[in-house]
Structure 1
Amino acid sequence: MADLLRMPEIAANTEEAVLAGWPVAEGDEFAAGDVIATIETAKAVVDVEAPTPGAVVRLLVPEGTDVAVGDPIALIAAPGETVDDVDAALARLGLGTATGTGPTPGPTPAPTTTGAPGPAPAPPRSAPAGVAAAPATPPPAGAPATAVGRIFASPLARKLAREAGIPFDTLRGSGPQGRVVRADVEAAIAAARAAAAAVAPTAAPTPPAAPAGHSPAGAAQPAAEAVPAAPTGPQGAAGTPDGDDDALVPHSRLRRAIARRLTESKSTVPHFYLRGRARVDALLALRTELNAAAPVKISVNDLVVKAVGQAHLAVPQVNVGWTDAGMWVFGGVDLGVAVATEGGLVTPVLRGVDRMSVSAVAAATRDFADRARRGALRQHELEGGSATVTNLGMYGAEEFSAILNPPQATILAVGAARREPVVTDAGELAVATVLRVTLSVDHRAVDGALAAQWMREFVAILEQPLRIVC
């Protein structure tokens, strides 16, 4: 009997995701374990595998659509089963008539873009002022008319278009067979901004009598229609003299996820902080020697990540995570490595750092960084881990504190290595390269004395760096 395939909960507390791609078509049969859908979350792209064999009867959601977790995305049947009346099968399952890869059926169908006058329902993300044109504004120069049928595009291109508020059906693809790629979206964004800048001086002025915090059109005006002609300040009043450059940019899915997680962590986890300093001249010398023979270039951060793994082995009581049910004791050392992307911070996890060579850590970290910036990380690569390393030294930050990523008990913030005067063990003044680090600790899982033991061990490893490669 035909049944519904629903949007899975890819990650904990995920309320919605993007149906990024359909590797299958209507009428295709699939085996257990075959990839039948590609889902894009705030941080990763996930392949959905079929738990049992079946056949695709109808695809209910087009590619690039935001779908709430649990909503139906396809009608599937057993292998060889014939569904004579698809609409009747959908009605039996509680859905209205669906038309192939059209809008999601049900009580809240997606609005159809027709260009007709009058207010339309607000999109999932409001278009940023000065970036996306209003419904009546012509599409960017060179864009085709609304496409009919399936639009092929990379997941990153779809993500950029959604975040910028660019209607996807106005984009012209320059990739193979007309596929929309990142450069096409960036060109459309630039064209939309240029068009908005050209018409901004002719926008209607804000009524002078409007008090701060109130809409000039009155309280009775619907929110969907209360769009100011020019960007306004946070209270809704006319901006300062340079207010023409202000804009309200909608939060991306990744930025919302980061905000939610960090707020939860900072408000519910009792943080405390330990600061340490290490003389890293020997570490830098070791890096130079390794890079002379290593198959991949090794960075200071790669050596720091490996040193964290060694310190966790030396003080295993810190290699834990807090859960309500009990203390989770990790059998190996899996470390998250913070990667900055255009959309925000992601932390893919290196598995078994304690068993990896320095070259393997360097290669894996570069692979993660490259795929993170392309939006190609997998969900399992972002899960787990007993600690995280975040490094702002390459930006010149000497010292900072980081917020924990629960259920991990520690996160190490690494600053820039600087030449500065130090006092040697013999009591003499000398110049050395000093690296400052700050360990943020979950006090529920790790006590201060234990964290101090870990910091002492970690600094000793950095100052005796042969321990990293032994």
Structure 2
Amino acid sequence: MPEVIMPKMGDAMEAGTVVRWLKQEGEEVSPGEPIAEIETDKVTLELEAEDGGTLAELYAGEGEEVPVGQPIAFIAGEGEEAPAHDGGRRREEGRAAEEEAGEEPEAPAATAAPPEERREREQADGRFRASPLVRRLARENNLDLSRIQGTGPAGRIVERDVRAALERGEARAEERPPEKAAPVAAPEPTGAPGTTLKEPSRMQRVIGERMQQAKREIPHFYATVEAGVDGLLSLRSELNERLAEEGVKLSINDFVMKACAVALRKFPMLNALWTSEGIELHERVDLAMAVALEEGLITPVIRDAANKPLSVISAEAKDLASRAREGRLKPDEYQGGTFTVSNMGMFGVESFSAIINPPQAAIVAVSSIIRRPDFDEEGNVVPRSTMKLTLSADHRIANGADGARYMSEVKRLLENPMLLLV
């Protein structure tokens, strides 16, 4: 049955929003043809049809948020008709009609399911098919989703199933120790003259939740070094002069990213992920670079950065950053990083520390180059260009000594930049 489902376009994606339908009901579509624009917490992408035929019915309207895996449309082949569907727009229109008629929509009974059926409804990662809203509702009311029979598409547990279980007093979860107190709620708006309220975007909400979780749950430790970069500046100028005819222009950040990646060869515990089954070490450095957007931050990934020449790193970084700002990155281009570099030097920031991007073990914050007087080995005052770099690392994975030695190696490479060319 050629249903179009909401695809999973990110590791943490649980739902997407249909921004715009590019095809309308009754129109013919071909395999690979874009039919809709889908917004995730990171980007807006075109959804391509996997099957050809007639777009017989749209289950989700524009602006509607749909859980991953739930049908949003049906493409009919020759002689086919769209099947009955209890989700999406049809279901909402039915509810609206019942409410206008003064009738209460009937909630199907929610009963405890046998273990065999429960296992069939579990996804590969062990989670039941249910939206974030349903999970939150079950958690707030201490219900066990494994004991609730789903009546949604493909056995999905929907809101009405949970509410029916509540009314019947069924599916209670085992008593657990009380959870830690929730964070203090944000204050109400003041409503003062001259103020306006701006609704956070999906990206801002997700970034806020993840960064709050990272700062709360990951024991950060920090290590800062100051690298002299006069030699790096001279080498960069010389290389750019020679490479100008080839259209290559190396940035300071290209050198920094290369140095951070090369140094990780000696410190595998910092090129690692914290997982549910243990610490996952990576031989290859898939370097994520932070790119600032109007609504937040995204981290496209340069694969195998330690083994790529500076010119390739530079070209990939420019391409990824450009397409990130245009919202044209593919999910596999901003997922799967093993280490992150965040550079705010272009804003004149002299020093800062960054929040770890989970499940990664570490992130390096790069500050601006400062020109100031210093002393040479003979005690003479000389001008010197320096840059501060700060490591934020997960103390569950690496210890302070590892972090200090790693940053010393990054400093050594930046102060001897010819080493990055071999």
The verdict on a shared fold, with TM-score over 0.5 as the criterion, is yes
Shift of the 288–104 alpha-carbon distance from structure 1 to 2, 3 Å rule, reads same
Cα pair 1:45 1:379 within 8 Å, conserved? no
Rate the CA distance shift 1:3–1:247 in 2: closer, same or farther, 3 A. Answer: same
Q: Distance in 1 between matches of 2:217 and 2:210?
A: 11
**What's the offset of the Cα at 1:380?**
1.3
1:61 alignment counterpart: 60
- Which residue matches 2:237? 288
Q: Does the Cα contact within 8 Å between 2:38 and 2:46 map onto a contact in 1?
A: yes
Write the distance in 1 (CA, Å) between the matches of 2:353 and 2:269: 22
Match of 1:251 in 2: 200
- What residue identity is the alignment partner of 1:394? M
Query: Residues of 2 paired with 1:376 and 1:391: CA distance?
Result: 22
Matches within 5 A, 1:3-42: 4-22=3-21, 26=26, 28=28, 30-31=30-31, 37-42=36-41
Instruction: Output the CA distance in 2 between the equivalents of 1:459 and 1:236.
Output: 46
Query: Counterpart amino acid of 1:398?
Result: E
Q: Which residue of 2 aligns with 1:94?
A: 86
Q: Alignment identity in percent?
A: 37
Question: Per the alignment, do residues 447 and 55 of structure 1 end up closer, same or farther by CA in structure 2, a change over 3 Å counting?
Answer: farther
Normalised by the length of structure 1, the TM-score is: 0.64
- Give 1:424 deviation, angstroms: 3.6
For 1:237 and 1:109, the matched residues in 2 are separated by 40
**Partner Cα separation in structure 2 for residue 43 and residue 440 of structure 1:** 23
- String of CA shifts for 1:392-443, please: whole Å, max 9, x gaps: 1111110000000011111000111112233444555433111111000011
Deviation by residue 1:371-399 (Cα, 9 ceiling, x = unmatched):
22222222111101111111111111100
Q: Counterpart of 1:272? A: 221
Q: Which amino acid aligns with 2:86?
A: G
Question: Is 1:389 aligned to residue 341 of structure 2?
Answer: yes
**2:7 match: secondary structure:** coil
* 3-state SS of paired residue (1:254): helix
- State the number of aligned residues: 330
Structure 2 gap ranges (5+): 98-185
Does the CA contact (< 8 Å) of 1:415 and 1:437 recur in 2?
yes
Per the TM alignment, residue 68 of structure 1 is displaced from its structure 2 partner at its CA by 3.8
| Alpha-carbon contact 1:17-1:39 (below 8 Å) kept | yes
Alpha-carbon offset, residue 286 of structure 1: 0.9
Q: Give the residue type in structure 2 aligned to 1:332.
A: R
Matches within 5 A, 1:287-366: 287-294=236-243, 295-366=247-318
Following superposition, the deviation at residue 105 of structure 1 comes to 2.4
1:70 deviates by: 4.2
Name the structure 1 match of 2:392.
Answer: 440
CA distance in 1, matches of 2:274, 2:421: 30
Residues 52 and 75 in structure 2, CA contact (< 8 A), matched pair in contact too: no
Aligned partners of 1:373 and 1:288: how far apart in 2? 27
Tell me how far 1:49 sits from its aligned partner: 5.3
Q: For the residues of structure 1 that align with 2:344 and 2:29, how far apart are their CA atoms?
A: 49
Counterpart amino acid of residue 41 in structure 2: A
Amino acid at match of 2:80: T
CA contact (8 A) 1:45 1:378 kept: no
1:339 is displaced (CA, Å) by 0.9
Provide the residue aligned with 2:43 in structure 1. 44
Query: What is the deviation of 1:279?
Result: 0.4
Q: What amino acid maps onto 1:277 in structure 2?
A: E
Q: Do the aligned partners of 1:277 and 1:436 also contact (CA within 8 Å) in 2? A: yes
Give yes or no for contact 2:29–2:49 (8 Å, CA) kept in 1: no
Rounded Cα–Cα distance in structure 2 between residues aligned with 1:255 and 1:348: 17
For the residues of structure 1 that align with 2:64 and 2:201, how far apart are their CA atoms? 15
Quick one: distance in 1 between partners of 2:372 and 2:187? 44
With over 3 angstroms needed to count, the CA separation of the structure-2 counterparts of 1:468 and 1:111, relative to structure 1, is: farther
Q: 1:407 aligns with which of 334, 359, 382?
A: 359
Q: Compute the displacement of 1:71 (Å).
A: 3.9
- For 1:320 and 1:234, the matched residues in 2 are separated by 38
1:105 matched to 2:103 = no
- Matches of 1:298 and 1:67 in 2, distance apart? 43
Mean alpha-carbon deviation: is it higher for 284-293 or for 417-426? 417-426
- Give matches, 1:453-468, under 5 Å: 453-468=405-420
Q: TM-score, normalised by structure 2?
A: 0.71
Code of the residue aligned with 1:469 in structure 2: it is L
Q: Distance in 2 between matches of 1:299 and 1:290?
A: 11
Gapped regions of structure 1 (runs ≥ 5): 96-102, 113-232
